[in-house]
Amino acid sequence: MVEFNLKTEYRTMRSDIHWNTSLTAAKTLAGTLDIEAEFPVQRKKKVPRRLDTEAQSTESVYLDSTDDMKINLYYNTLDRLITELDNRFPPELSDFAFLLPAHMAALDGETRIRRLADRYPQVDSELAVAQWRLARHILAGVDSKIVSLSLREAYVNVPTDFVALRLLYRIALSLCVTTASVERGFSKLAIVKNKLRSTMSQDRLESLVIAAAEKDLLVMIPVDDL
């Protein structure tokens, strides 16, 4: 749901109104920092007539510095961000949002939960929808401000008998949303396995990489337990 709101905000920003607002704010900030606020004037390139086959019939269109910045940088950046969000977060992931208590009152919530359950063969869709209906009332009784409940808090308060619904919650809570931990591991591998440690065993290498990558957890373990 966060990525959907972010894409909506990016699409809203892709307008002349937001561009003018951003430009005004940037110029104000530049003036405060004593920085030149005007865009540099670009020199027009003159195309030789012998190379311009349409010089007689078509006039060249030149953009001033402001329009060039708006089209080639501002709009281009927003388009790239929207495309990256579409590629990284397909529309199917938005169905998980209806496991959040804040979205359980949506008109199409039941349809989205059924579609989400149908995606996983190990989940009984009809049973999951029935348990989801009951869970709405249970979670409303747990906290009058049901909107404030997080996904984890909702999972904890769903009865253990609701096996199908709890399975959907476990899938949602275990989804990998970033590759930072994997990239951190490879970064630590280059540090741990240097020329002096190139002949260590696989088990020792794995232990050292885990200790280096999860250092914040390592320091919390009592020395007596090691």
Answer whether residue 201 shows pLDDT above 60.
yes
- Calculate mean pLDDT across residues 201-206: 86
Residues 55-66 have a mean pLDDT of 60
Higher-confidence residue of 53 and 21: namely 21
Mean pLDDT score across all residues of the chain: 81
Under 8 Å between Cβ of 83 and 89 = no
pLDDT in tens, 123-153: 999 999 999 999 988 887 765 555 678 888 8
Tokens of 226: 């090691």
Q: Which of 119, 69, 75, 54 is nearest to 93 (CA)?
A: 119
- What's the distance, CA 129 to chain centroid? 27
In degrees, to the nearest 5, what angle opens at C-alpha 61 toward C-alphas 57 and 62?
150
Instruction: Give me the pLDDT at residue 129, please.
Output: 93
As a whole-number percent, the residues of the chain with pLDDT over 90 amount to 17
Give the lowest-confidence range in 60-64, 73-77, 79-83, 187-191.
Answer: 60-64
Q: What is the mean pLDDT of residues 75-95?
A: 82
Domain edges within the chain: 2-89, 92-174, 180-225
**Residue 204, SS3 per DSSP:** helix
Tokens of 74: 């501002």
Mean pLDDT of 147-161: 86
Spatial neighbors of 62 by CB under 8 A, at least 6 apart, are 44
